[in-house]
Amino acid sequence: MSLLDTLRNDLTPIHREGYPFLLIGAVVSGLLLWLFQPLGWIALLITAWIAYFFRDPERVTPLREGLVIAPADGRVCLVGPAVPPAELGLGREPLPRVCIFMNVFDVHVNRAPLAGRVARIAYRPGKFLSADLDKASEDNERNGVVLATAAGLVGVVQIAGLVARRIVCFVREGEEIATGERFGLIRFGSRVDVYFPAGARPLVAEGQRAVAGETVLADLAYSQPPASFRIG
């Protein structure tokens, strides 16, 4: 294997959404290095962080009917029943919900938690409160995606945060999407909420780390009582 092949296998790919920012960073860094080197080195560090932020690693997604997979990297900040946003059309009764908070160092590419058809996409403008607060689900700018799956309707809501100012959605209504497939991205620091069908029991706890496309949030085909957790 050549050195080039080794680098290709070991380096984490950068999502295409990051290319314009990297180009701007490279141009600004070059100009500043020519005009005033200390500022140029600072600009290079910022450009390197942008490349890190937009990284898009491959993931190994478990595939079995009923498994709900984490749509985002980050910390599970809320677990419990909540009324879904009205624009999702999932009713006014509380549904099981898991919220994942992404800080600026997490991977921000979002993945489909279940295979299904994109039944609805609903964007709602709003505030930019800290995304780990419970009221961010109601007050913040957000984009909701409803998936029609074999297990029922599942809502996935991308929520902007204090720093995030841009929610990107790659899918359209009517499209079919596979479990773990990339469906969106949020810039820069935010949260993703997942609303399960009634009766679902989450298999994660608050404070747990989730990995998009890999961590199992719930098993809709499993009817046993919810698991307990130990911290240590």
66 with 222: CB under 8 angstroms?
Answer: yes
Amino acid making up residue 193: D
CA dihedral 171, 22, 159, 141 (to 10 degrees): -100
Cα 93 from chain centroid (whole Å): 25
Q: Are strands 166-169 and 209-210 parallel, antiparallel or unpaired?
A: unpaired
Catalytic residues: 190
Cis preceding linkage at 229, omega within 30: no
Amino acid making up residue 115: A
Structure tokens at 168: 């990107």
* Alpha carbon separation from 100 to 157, 205, 210 (Å, rounded): 10, 11, 7
Burial 113-145 (b: 16+ CB within 10 A, else e): bbbbebbbbbebeeebbebbbeebbbebbbbbb
Q: How far apart are CA 49 and CA 153, in angstroms?
A: 37
